[in-house]
Amino acid sequence: MRSGELTGGTEVEPGGAADRAQDRVRERDGGPGRLTVVGLGPGSADLLAPMALECLVRAGAVVGYDRYMDLVDPKLLAGKTLFSSPMKKEMERTAKAVDFALSGLDTVVVSSGDSGVYGMAGLVLEYLEREGLLHAVELDIVPGIPALCAAAALLGAPLMHDFCAVSLSDLLTPLPLIMRRVRCAAEGDFVIALYNPKSRKRGSYLAKALEMIAAQRGPDTPVGFVRNAYRPDQEVRTATLGSCDPEWADMLTTVIVGNSATRLVNGKMLTPRGYYEKYGRENDGN
Amino acid sequence: MRSGELTGGTEVEPGGAADRAQDRVRERDGGPGRLTVVGLGPGSADLLAPMALECLVRAGAVVGYDRYMDLVDPKLLAGKTLFSSPMKKEMERTAKAVDFALSGLDTVVVSSGDSGVYGMAGLVLEYLEREGLLHAVELDIVPGIPALCAAAALLGAPLMHDFCAVSLSDLLTPLPLIMRRVRCAAEGDFVIALYNPKSRKRGSYLAKALEMIAAQRGPDTPVGFVRNAYRPDQEVRTATLGSCDPEWADMLTTVIVGNSATRLVNGKMLTPRGYYEKYGRENDGN
């Protein structure tokens, strides 16, 4: 890695601290640094796992999508080699992170939520495979709280029974496959978490998906919209498929649709798991 | 709450500390305590979110399934009112927790993983609704790392595309509905996480589910078995549907079956999201 190198992203190398960190790693064993893909969770520091924090603390380099780098405490990034770039530059960030690790830096790639759920873990593993580097760099993956769990906690308890996650982004997935999955999820009476419900180019996919589910479950099915969970501008709304407006969602929103048993309780979504049906109150210990 | 009360569970009230905590809360505002359902994550302290830790620290009472209470650092429980009970006593634990909160104690109900994924969040909300207590007690839900994300991180990157979670426990769900969901998940080419794959009474459900998926995707489909993720006796195995043995799973195992694109890479599961197909290496920044 050369100081000041810029390849479409933003690279900051303050005061040679990273070089010193790199030298330290090289002195230690002369080999590559560790490569770790870390889920930041929703973004709030109090939902960041200590294991993820520890990885960030010990890292010599941190790589991520620019919006997600902003979720990391700047104090954690000070003195480290940083590389961030916009959406759709995932391949570039992956190559950069692997370069950093090969050069001896302990390197962390950050994702929001869980790095294994529509995150960076898969691309990093695939890159190592395709470049013949599986044995050259040790890859660790640290799990985090995924967006669907963060959204669910704010909505009540919508995920208490079998559920699916479907991304409505057709950037990498053909639309017919996306809609087939929505149909199968509706037929299976799964609770459905919709990721990437909207972007400028995909105005109508969410409305179409919600219509397909409503056709199966009816307009009274509860639905929740959570935007920026556990971040300062968090927004939480519940409604029904018949009364919601797909325009409530943007690209930072997770949408959760209840199954046929989900109901709204005091403005919260509740998907009962069947304890009352099975046990009544015979077993409640009072 | 009466000292020494035992209602089928284990209640410990060491040295009146809980009474003092209760008095302290009552002095503060005379009202009920906070009721919080907390996901412990996989169980390892370094995957417990600071928000969940803070709830445990400030709690006057902690309630949970006995196996999950064992995941909590004993130092965190010292001096608190504790109530734990075995599996199938969820209604009892819920009633107890609500009693504690009504008596003025800040009360935490613990689940493993995420409390909203097959956890206690839904039952606590439903109990408050059915008992007419929705406005008497404030309920908070703190998200955690769910078992499927913990398992996925150890297996590689199996969840990188649309996925489902299905519990094979028929304690509260009719078997035909479970198998319908497995069939729909297979038809939709979802990555499938199977919770509760086995118990003494349900010897063959996992084998049946894996057969149904193999009929759709073929015997070469990768599958991972993770037992006790991030706990001292963790076990991780990958194989294919044709070569795995359902006997590898017990009730502490999460099983993840890949979709039609998932492959085994260096013993890890990888579900590519399609970056290479879309972008090749044109965009990798080298």
For residues A62 and B87, the model is more confident at A62
CA atoms of A195 and A39, how far apart (whole Å): 16
| Identity of residue B205 | Y
Task: Categorize the per-residue pLDDT at B199 as very low, low, confident or very high, splitting at 50, 70 and 90.
Answer: confident
CB nearest to B126's CB, from A189, A190, A272: A272
User: What are the angstrom distances between the C-alpha of A111 and each of A61, A116, A171?
Assistant: 14, 9, 18
> Taking Cα atoms as reference points, which of A223, A234, A233, A230 lies closest to residue A268?
A223
In chain B, what residues touch A87 (CB-CB under 8 Å)? none
C-alpha radius of gyration, chain A, whole number = 22
- Per DSSP, B196 falls in state S
CB nearest to B181's CB, from A180, A190, A278: A190
pLDDT at A8: 43
Residue tagged 């795995």 (tokens): B244
The helix/strand/coil state of A66 is: helix
Contact B49 A51 (CB under 8 A): no
pLDDT at A80: 97
Contact B91 A116 (CB under 8 A): no
pLDDT at A277: 74
The count of other CB atoms within 10 Å of the CB of residue A182 is: 26
Q: What is the mean pLDDT of residues B224-235?
A: 96
pLDDT at B281: 55
In B191-275, beta strands by DSSP E:
191-195, 222-227, 235-240, 253-257, 263-265, 268-270
Q: Which fold has domain A148-270?
A: 3.30.950
pLDDT at B95: 97
A123-157 confidence digits (pLDDT tens): 999 999 999 999 999 999 999 999 999 999 999 99
Is residue B86 exposed (0-12), middle (13-18) or buried (19+ Cβ within 10 Å)? middle
CA atoms of A12 and A6, how far apart (whole Å): 9
**Nearest residue in chain B measured CA to CA from A123:** B272
Cβ atoms A1, A75 nearer than 8 A: no
Collect all residues with Cβ–Cβ distance below 8 Å to B1 and sequence separation of at least 6: B22, B81, B99, B100, B103, B105
Instruction: Among A35, A109, A142, A161, pick the best mutation site for testing chain B contact (most B Cβ within 10 A).
Output: A161
In chain A, what residues touch B181 (CB-CB under 8 Å)? 162, 188-190
Cβ atoms A55, A142 nearer than 8 A: yes
Instruction: Among A162, A182, A230, A283, pick the best mutation site for testing chain B contact (most B Cβ within 10 A).
Output: A162
pLDDT at B21: 43
- A32-46, B22-36, B116-130, B140-154 — which is least confidently predicted? B22-36
- Residue spans of the domains in chain B: they are 10-145, 148-270
In chain B, what residues touch A130 (CB-CB under 8 Å)? 276
Distance from CA of A21 to the nearest CA of B (A): 23
A189-231 confidence digits (pLDDT tens): 999 999 999 877 766 899 999 999 999 999 999 999 999 999 9
Is residue A171 exposed (0-12), middle (13-18) or buried (19+ Cβ within 10 Å)? middle
**Nearest residue in chain A measured CA to CA from B124:** A157
Length of chain A: 286
CB nearest to A157's CB, from B88, B141, B184: B141
- For chain B, the average pLDDT equals 88
**Nearest residue in chain A measured CA to CA from B285:** A92
| Identity of residue A124 | V
> Taking Cα atoms as reference points, which of B163, B47, B33, B50 lies closest to residue B98?
B33
- E strand or H helix at A74: helix A74-77
pLDDT at A281: 55
Contact B49 A54 (CB under 8 A): no
**Nearest residue in chain A measured CA to CA from B53:** A46
Over chain A (286 residues), the average pLDDT of each successive run of 10 is 38 44 51 96 96 97 92 94 91 97 97 95 96 96 98 98 96 92 97 91 87 97 98 97 96 96 97 80 41
pLDDT at B48: 97
pLDDT at A28: 52
State the architecture of A10-145 in CATH terms.
3-Layer(aba) Sandwich (3.40)
Report the share of chain B in percent with pLDDT over 90. 77
User: What are the angstrom distances between the C-alpha of B126 and each of A222, B100, B103, B132?
Assistant: 16, 17, 20, 10
The helix/strand/coil state of A189 is: coil
Cβ atoms A226, A150 nearer than 8 A: yes
pLDDT at B87: 83
